[in-house]
Amino acid sequence: MSVSVLGVRHHGPGSARSLGDELERLKPDIVLIEGPPEADGLVELAKDPGLEPPVALLAHVPGEPSKAAFWPFAVFSPEWQAIRHAVEAGIPVRFCDLPAAHSLASGPEEPAARPDTPDTPDGEGPDSGIPAAVRTDPIGTLARAAGYDDPERWWEDVVEHRGDTPFQVIAEAMAAVREGHVADAYEARREAFMRRTIRRAVKDGFERIAVVCGAWHVPALAGPSREGAAWGAGLPTVKADDALLRGLPKVKAEMTWVPWTYGRLAAWSGYGAGVTSPGWYHHLFTAADRPVERWLTAAAGVLREEDLPVSSAHVIEAVRLTQSLAVLRGRPLAGLAEVTEAARAVLCEGDDLPVELIQRRMVVGERLGHVPDTTPMVPLQRHLREEQRRLKLKPEALDREHDLDLRKPLDLERSRLLHRLRLLGVEWGTPQESRSKGTFRESWTLAWRPEFDIELIEASAWGTTVPAAAGARVRDLADGGRPPGPAAPQGTAGPGPGGGGSAAPAGVSLAGLTGLVERCLLADLPDALPYVLDSLSARAALDSDVTHLMAALPAMVRAQRYGDVRGTPATGLAAIVDALLTRVCVGLGGAVTGLDDDAARDLLRHIDGVHAAVALLDGATGAEAPQGRWLATLRGASGRSDLHGLIEGRLTRILLDAGDLDADQVGPRMSRAMSAGHPPARAAAWIEGFLSGGGLLLVHDARLLALIDGWLTGLAPETFVDVLPLLRRTFGAFAAPERRSIGSRVRSLATGAVAGGEDVAELDEERAAAAVRTVLMILGKTEAE
């Protein structure tokens, strides 16, 4: 019987290559791998060609999605190569690390957060019975002994870039570094369980046992190296290990395979061995020969795809520079640092922007793994996979833009799926502002993230399909459940989908409910919509704050409009919109008085929102139509004497633009607002409110411009200084062409070209005749008419 403990670096291409050769030589009859034993039953899936790295083992506690951990594998991970060797050779594989059922039960400390090298151990409790841990950085210690100031560079030079370092040498190096090391409680229990698993394999009669683990653990699993000594000599006893493992907390943990990305592998790793350059490591593992030449050739291809001029001569010179840098620095093979410097200097000609492109596309990589349909999944995950196939929306690691035309059935179904997932907290798609002005267009940015699988598992409590789960989640949100999204803590889902009532609880705002109605229509959830509308009606009937009603109305109008565009039935929505508008019209008169500056600005925002929303409503014209009732309300409010200047000016401008007032009526109002009887600050606020609709009015109405100019030039110097910030903010919001046109008109006033508010420049009738004839021709009229 022989036990071979093979120390590797997690996600190390050199370790993976050496491990494959060593397993071929040893020909073990069982392979033990550092990882959670709950995954033993999932190893056989590695035979399926549909299981494509990068993938990860996901352990989670049902009902507690915040308790979850990942163990990722890339094609260059030694553990993945050990799995592949075992399944191809037909020998059993067992995972030998501490079970996830224990590690997930112990609180925030997870196996996915523990490093290979115990340089950040936890403090020990007074009753642990384990001495305080001694901090050690083994890679740093060995690198310093070899004269390196960069531990990562030393490890790459002696292991990753060579691929032929004997495992015995690594074991001896780690044994020397671990002299005097005292493991913390978590590490001691992990290593005790690994030894227990090895003993079980020996007891089961296996003769040739290969153990694949992080190099740091080798001395704790192999024991002192003595000629002829059986395995286990010098290691802790069975009794000592059992004492360490006795009484550990335990939860019910479930395990499955999920897709992973190289981008997430670069961000953090389940083994703590962070890989900042997974694309480079993948290349080192898969490129059998001339890796530098192949890498730079591929980099040139990436740049050419972006229409950057890169020739074969560039590649040849970059290879020469890379090799020269490696020789100068005494490296056995040029590393990523040398390759990147050569690419920057030669291929990118010193420009950092193309280097960032290479970094994103190649160094990190765009790879997203895949798991087969036979992988254990919750029904919601499986349904989403079917929907992705049906709608031809392939999950991808990098951001990809999608412009949807809602008039097309396929695009409409895609939009509904993305909106439903957002209701479930799965932010696969992020809405973007559409370049089209039509409501039948939507723009999305799609990027799949590994943690979405956890969110789908959490959302599976609401239903087995995406529409059913989204509908149940909407009903819960209407009852006061926590909104979905990245800001919501995991594990805080509200009550189950079966409860609820029609009355909205106090924790749900009226604006929140109207926004939920809009999202419900976007996601096409007709079964949940009546429930939300009942909650909305109940809340609106109890809410007496007119600003709340005004904040709620625009979303309701948009929801009604989207329902028309998408063909979504929204029975009862028009009645609620009409009731909200009626209550806003009744309460606005009392809400516009007695306001300070901040309250006036807040109310002005609501007035503009309601005005824009009312313009979208279809209906008959006249005093009883929505637009007629709203304008009548604004007309009545604008005549009050106790209005804030900002509100009065804005109401006047809205009525002018709507044709309810003409320029002859606006002129006296502006004169009164800027009269000496009002403080200059109020006059400035009136002008700000009046001009917030745009400055072209002053270009075309010389009388109003003259009134403002006369008021401004008549201010005392100290008063002018006081109102200047208000005026600067007002005119600074205009577009540059508008400001230039207003300036030109003001110069005309100064030179006397405009008098009495009327332009007296003579009209050249001969030059204008041609334009007049063209306009009449377009209108189908003659000059006589």
Whole-number pLDDT of residue 493:
31
**Residue that terminates a domain, selected from 333, 365, 397:** 365
**Residue that terminates a domain, selected from 232, 267, 302:** 267
**Does one domain contain both 78 and 162?**
yes
In a domain, 434, yes or no: yes
Whole-number pLDDT of residue 320:
95
Q: Could you please report the per-residue DSSP string of 77-132? A: -HHHHHHHHHHHHT--EEE-S--HHHHTTTSS--GGG--SS-SSPPPPPTTS-SPP
Whole-number pLDDT of residue 616:
82
Please tell me the distance from the alpha carbon of residue 456 to that of residue 400, in angstroms, as a whole number: 21
In a domain, 767, yes or no: yes
- 23 CB neighbour count, 10 Å cutoff: 23
Judged against a pLDDT cut of 90, whether residue 88 lies above it is answered with yes
**Does one domain contain both 178 and 32?**
yes
Per-residue pLDDT of 725-774, as tens digits, reads: 877 777 777 778 877 887 887 777 666 544 444 444 456 777 778 888 88
Per-residue pLDDT of 518-568, as tens digits, reads: 788 888 888 888 888 888 778 777 777 888 888 878 877 876 766 555 665
pTM: 0.67
In a domain, 442, yes or no: yes
Q: Show the domain range for 440.
A: 379-478
The single-letter code of the amino acid at 182 is V
Whole-number pLDDT of residue 274:
53
Q: How far is CA 576 from CA 8, 511, 532, 555, 559, in A?
A: 66, 13, 12, 12, 11
In a domain, 257, yes or no: yes
User: ∠ at Cα 308 (307, 314), nearest 5°?
Assistant: 135
Whole-number pLDDT of residue 114:
37
Q: Average pLDDT, stretch 144-165?
A: 73
**Does one domain contain both 84 and 60?**
yes
User: Which contiguous run of DSSP H or E holds residue 352?
Assistant: helix 352-358
Q: How many helices (H) and strands (E) does the chain have?
A: 33, 12
CB 473 within 8 A of CB 459: yes
Judged against a pLDDT cut of 70, whether residue 619 lies above it is answered with no
**Does one domain contain both 205 and 314?**
no
Q: How far is CA 118 from CA 136, 156, 214, 747, in A?
A: 6, 20, 11, 76
**Does one domain contain both 218 and 127?**
yes
**Does one domain contain both 332 and 447?**
no
**Does one domain contain both 694 and 779?**
yes
Instruction: Quickly state the pLDDT bin for 271 (edges 50, 70, 90).
Output: very low
Q: Is 271 helix (H, G, I), strand (E, B) or coil?
A: coil
In a domain, 518, yes or no: no
Judged against a pLDDT cut of 80, whether residue 81 lies above it is answered with yes
Instruction: Quickly state the pLDDT bin for 494 (edges 50, 70, 90).
Output: very low
Please tell me the distance from the alpha carbon of residue 156 to that of residue 651, in angstroms, as a whole number: 71
**Does one domain contain both 331 and 391?**
no
CB 210 within 8 A of CB 30: yes
Per-residue pLDDT of 282-341, as tens digits, reads: 998 888 788 899 999 999 999 999 999 999 999 999 999 999 998 998 887 888 889 999
In a domain, 180, yes or no: yes
**Does one domain contain both 89 and 211?**
yes
Structural domain count of the chain: 4
Whole-number pLDDT of residue 754:
45
**Does one domain contain both 229 and 291?**
no
Please tell me the distance from the alpha carbon of residue 299 to that of residue 293, in angstroms, as a whole number: 10
User: Which contiguous run of DSSP H or E holds residue 363?
Assistant: none
**Does one domain contain both 384 and 325?**
no
Please tell me the distance from the alpha carbon of residue 240 to that of residue 643, in angstroms, as a whole number: 83
**Does one domain contain both 239 and 387?**
no
**Residue that terminates a domain, selected from 267, 302, 323:** 267
Strands 55-61 and 254-259: antiparallel
Whole-number pLDDT of residue 491:
31
State the residue for tokens 């007891």.
203
Per-residue pLDDT of 26-40, as tens digits, reads: 999 999 999 999 999
In a domain, 355, yes or no: yes
Query: What is the rounded average pLDDT for all residues in the chain?
Result: 80
In a domain, 645, yes or no: no
